[in-house]
Chains A and B, each alone.
Chain A
């Protein structure tokens, strides 16, 4: 790589935008050090010899005449062992390291590398000297922690060729562990660490349609609006509707092997909450601490706005790197609206022609570009391993108004829509995902897998439940006009059963140790029990039973407590069916008498 260091002089400072002259030789999107403090910035426009730079730190005290030095490389992340369990800022600086240098407050011009360059890692080769390798070939592994096997790959920009050496042992991330000799005789050194520019997606062989479900342990999502591994979803909602709690729940319980959580322009205390909670929680699939499979990117709302713009790209590049190893990775971005606002702010400073709501006209393209980096891919190399990257973005539209340009641009690209409603949050129904407006376009993809895994009846049960809820919403309109008395017994039963589905199935308490995560088996049993209740009572009503009597029976109470039955006592749910049959039979006997 030929690095050319261009040096220029600041001519203008306006907030996070700095203009520097004498920069004709600089490349677009190169990282530059700005001013005497050496603030980190990125070139976003060039006009003859003037470079327009967005600076990732506050620019107070910077003025014309100070120097700007280009680093000759675009904004990149360091990828290698040492990423796991770390909390970074928007441009991959570890916050822990920053606190060691500058104390409790983040000061400016701090330079820290993304991964530890001193630490030695035990490298275990998996190919031998003389092997033919390609970009993406896995040459060995570092056990990063108890959960994550960190595979060392030939970087995508390396040539294919023959391994002339490969060493087992302990290395820092910058030491050479293997050497490739390409066909043209050139040698390429492989290290534990590679670098990749954040604004370019990492290459793969091909994309595949997602066919496996990303199980989240959240009933309303898993049952009604599932997301596939490699899929995309968005969660728009007004404040207080529980976006962040949903994102946290997914970060905790989604069955991805690796989680990247991007806190983009949100609250500092929320990141602290994640930092405190994750190490305490146990991953249901590995039995290890959840922190071991998590990487956090925190660029809170009060941290510099340009770095917020970069944070989701930093996050997704790290996620892609692990996807390339063949992992199922999930990325949560909370919130993409804040990212879009950062984009808008920079656009305003550049004096670009604004589009809708002052957002730049390229908003839609950028959003699409971000979500399109998700997917189920066949990775580079010859072993045809699959990796998936699922992306779930929260959107915070002003006043919860879904006509917001960020929401609309997002809905054009994502396949799953979990619409949060303030009316539900108002009634303290959480997760406040609307069962009427939300949708998932993945169910057909994953149907086969789910039916094989859970029960062949599942798809039908799901349809029935959704239909009941739909009917309920129509009936409620009628009740509002003419009162519940005017409904037929059958319709009143629909209302009653829908209530059970809403309150005892869809409502899920994120703060209860048991209810916070529901396995597929438990979920199936819960819905099965409620639908059994529906079938039995439909028969009952045909034979003269009244809906009012139904609400008095014990089984209703037991259905309500179903969600608090622990995973190891699921047979208790089966017993409820017996009690339903028995009680309805008693009611019918009473009718006959």
Chain B
């Protein structure tokens, strides 16, 4: 039921105003045929009587008012879904861009989705092993959580994300994750890194990739996370898969949103971002979760780069208010040669408490976490003191704390980019590092746990392994 009009009146940036139209619906999809036969796509942003304001996805260059033919499609943006999407690469409009040919859709869905009824949610509580000690041990990720990585330019977030995509699994059950990867405004090189890493490790077999490069139209950037999440919802709640959605880089997404908001001449909020940025981001992040009676789940790891490493910039700030914690990367740690450079103190997983402990990870996890955290904090304080007064001025106890915090960063936080640690290893490693202290110093751990693990065989064995590691350094 396409209705065609040649009544374009105004073009401004990616916006096109069409007059004398009839029966147009808000958010309707539009096809624009240029004088040379090119087809562009757009969406209705506003309808006012017989005037429709259209946002053109591929931009307005080459468009001319009298020649443009506008065809309204009578439906909103949809994506074709199929389980054959696994292993494939798509562009910002959901079209395959690899050599695999077209997808035969099993179903078509509106990419905006509808909100999950809070009553139908199940609280996330199943531990996901990422193979990173700093995440598994200290900022535990659980199925159905949204845990962003706050990074900065030049920090190895891409490497980390690829590693998580490779390694993520649920302990004991051995069920793998399907990965939905959405790239927004990243460079060709970065995109290539992900694609080739996924291919190299075979992870591509269970991944769906959506790619919008830095020179692709900004407006497609708005649609891409929604396509990825609609795909994820389909795989999770129709095909019962556990889906891990990795989105990078949300800062680019927000800038695209700002660009369009400015083109629409909306009243700007903080730093020129539109006032509805929070609501818009929530519409993306809140699509993570688990649903009663469904075995699949959606876990999100959005990645964003903080301009000037500033956590109070609107993008990380609003993200932090919506997501269930954050992993913050630190430039200082990276400079010390620590990968992943996770700032443990500033990072947080809000859903950690229900995902750890007996039956999920191990009984000693919570206490051990608290103890490591407390000791590391003490160590950092001692380090600060040493900077001001010199190491000589430290008390014997402070010196132990200091050396603990060094080891903690070097052995616990730091690991190889192909090193996939089990949660047992991570926990035992924590105990091993705590051996610097006497049993009575471990005030945050219950006595029976100290007796069980402090001298346990696994921890002893680890010691020899660590020694080798130290010598290698």
Interface residues of A (CB under 8 A from B): 11-15, 19, 58-65, 87, 95-96, 98-99, 102-108, 238-240, 263, 265, 267-269, 271-273, 275-276, 298, 300-303, 305, 338, 341-342, 344-345, 348, 351, 354, 357-358, 396, 398-401, 426-428, 483, 511
Return chain B residues, CB-CB under 8 Å to A354: 267
| Residue B355 is within 8 A (CB to CB) of chain A in the complex | no
> Within the complex, what minimum Cβ distance (angstroms) separates B355 from chain A?
12
* Chain A residues positioned under 8 Å from B67 (CB to CB): none
Report chain A residues within 8 Å CB of B350: 240
The answer on a CB contact under 8 Å between A401 and B26 is no
> Are A338 and B121 interface neighbours, CB within 8 A?
no
> Which A residues are in CB contact (< 8 Å) with B278?
265, 301, 338, 341
Q: Given contacts A103-B117, A240-B326, could you give 4 more A-B pairs where the C-beta distance is less than 8 Å?
A: A14-B26, A105-B114, A305-B279, A341-B278
Hey, which chain A residues are within 8 Å of B279, CB to CB?
Answer: 265, 301-302, 305, 341-342, 345
Q: Is the CB of B117 within 8 A of A483?
A: no
B320 near A239 with CB under 8 A, answer yes
Q: Which residues of A contact B318 (CB under 8 A)?
A: 398
A105 pairs with B118, CB closer than 8 A: no
Per the 8 Å Cβ criterion, residues 260-291 of B in contact with A are: 266-270, 275-276, 278-279, 282-283, 285-287, 289, 291
With A61-B76, A301-B322, A357-B270 given, is the CB distance from A104 to B282 under 8 Å? no
CB-based closest 8 A-B pairs = A399-B312, A301-B282, A302-B286, A63-B25, A239-B320, A60-B27, A95-B119, A13-B26
The answer to whether the Cβ of B463 comes within 8 Å of any Cβ in the partner chain is no
CB closest residue in chain A, given B320: A239
Contact call A58/B123, Cβ cutoff below 8 A: no
Partner of B321, one of A13, A59, A239: A239
Interface size class of B (residues with CB under 8 A): 35 or more
| A339 to B48 Cα, complex, angstroms | 27
Please, which residues of chain A bring their CB within 8 A of the CB of B266? 348
**Bound CA–CA A428/B320 (angstroms):** 17
Instruction: With CB as the reference atom, state the residue of chain B lying closest to A348.
Output: B267
* Interchain CA distance A14-B24 in the complex, whole Å: 12
- Within 8 Å by CB of B119, from A14, A98, A305, A358, lies A98
Q: Determine the chain B residues whose CB is within 8 A of the CB of A358 once the complex forms.
A: 267-270, 275
Cross-chain contact B115 with A303 (CB below 8 angstroms): yes
Asked if A239 contacts B286 (CB within 8 A), the reply is: no
Are B112 and A60 interface neighbours, CB within 8 A?
Answer: yes
Q: Show 10 A/B contacts (Cβ-Cβ < 8 Å), sorted by A.
A: A58-B114, A60-B110, A64-B24, A104-B292, A240-B326, A298-B118, A305-B276, A338-B278, A341-B278, A399-B312
Query: Cα distance A239–B268 when bound, in Å?
Result: 23
Q: A11-B49, A104-B292 are in contact. Are A271 and B118 (CB under 8 A)?
A: yes
Interface residues of B in 95-138 (CB under 8 A from A): 110, 112-124
Decide if B472 is an interface residue (CB 8 Å cutoff).
Answer: no
Docked Cα-Cα span, A269 to B324, in Å, equals: 9
- With A63-B23, A348-B275 given, is the CB distance from A12 to B49 under 8 Å? yes
User: What is the CB-to-nearest-CB distance from B45 to chain A, in angstroms, rounded to a whole number?
Assistant: 8
Residues on the A chain within 8 Å of B342, using CB: none
Are A428 and B373 neighbours in the complex by a CB distance under 8 Å?
A: yes
Please report the C-alpha to C-alpha distance between residue A341 and residue B282 in the assembled complex, in whole angstroms: 13
Task: Judge whether B25 and A104 touch: CB under 8 Å.
Answer: no
Q: B365 → chain A, closest Cβ, in Å?
A: 14
Q: Which of A14, A276, A351, A399 contacts B123 (CB 8 A)?
A: A276
- A65 contact from B23, B270, B291, Cβ within 8 A: B23
Q: Nearest chain A CB to B298's CB is how many angstroms away?
A: 12
Task: Report which of A103, A272, A428 forms a contact with B121, defined as CB distance below 8 A.
Answer: A272
Quote the shortest CB–CB distance from B285 to chain A (angstroms): 8
Q: What is the chain A residue whose CB lies nearest that of B278?
A: A341
Closest to B279 in A: A305
B391 at the interface (CB under 8 A from A): no
- B residues engaging A (CB < 8 A)? 22-28, 45-50, 76, 110, 112-124, 144-145, 237, 266-270, 275-276, 278-279, 282-283, 285-287, 289, 291-292, 294, 311-312, 314, 317-318, 320-322, 324-326, 345-346, 348, 350-351, 353, 373, 377, 389
- Which has the most chain A C-beta neighbours within 10 Å: B279, B285, B292? B279
Residue of A nearest to B373 (CB): A428
By the criterion CB–CB under 8 Å, are A11 and B48 in contact? yes
Tell whether, in the assembled complex, residue B76 and residue A60 are in contact, meaning their CB atoms are under 8 Å apart: yes
Q: Contact at A273–B123, with CB atoms within 8 Å?
A: yes
Which listed residue (B27, B123, B276) contacts A272, Cβ 8 A? Answer: B123
Contact of B25 among A62, A87, A95 (CB under 8 A): A62
CA distance A273 to B354 in the complex (A): 10
- Asked if B117 contacts A60 (CB within 8 A), the reply is no
- Chain A's closest residue to B43 (CB) is A60
> Chain A residues with Cβ under 8 A from B282's Cβ?
265, 300-302
> Given contacts A268-B121, A301-B282, are A61 and B25 in contact (CB under 8 A)?
yes
A284 to B52 CA separation, bound complex (whole angstroms) = 60
Measured in the bound complex, the distance between the Cα atoms of B269 and A187 in whole Å is 54
CB distance from A68 to the nearest CB of B (A): 14
Are the C-beta atoms of A427 and B291 separated by less than 8 Å?
Answer: no
Count chain B CB atoms within 10 A of each CB in A12, A99, A399 and give the residue with the most. A399
Q: Quote the shortest CB–CB distance from B242 to chain A (angstroms).
A: 17
A104 near B314: Cβ-Cβ < 8 Å: no
How far does the alpha carbon of A305 sit from the alpha carbon of B279 in the complex, in Å?
A: 7
In the complex, the answer to whether A106 meets B117 with C-beta atoms within 8 Å is yes
A341 vs B324: C-alpha distance in the bound complex, in angstroms? 20
| Alpha-carbon distance A278/B50, docked complex (angstroms) | 52
Alpha-carbon separation in the docked complex, A62 to B345 (Å) = 48
Chain B residues whose C-beta falls within 8 Å of the C-beta of A426 in the assembled complex:
345-346
Which residue among A15, A19, A95, A267 has the maximum number of chain B CB atoms within 10 Å of its CB? A267
* Most B CB within 10 A of own CB, among A104, A271, A341, A354: A104
Contact assessment for B47 and A12 in the assembled complex, using a CB-CB cutoff below 8 Å: yes
CB distance B46 to A400 under 8 Å?
no
Contact B115 A345 (CB under 8 A): no
Q: How far is the CB of B466 from chain A (nearest CB, A)?
A: 27
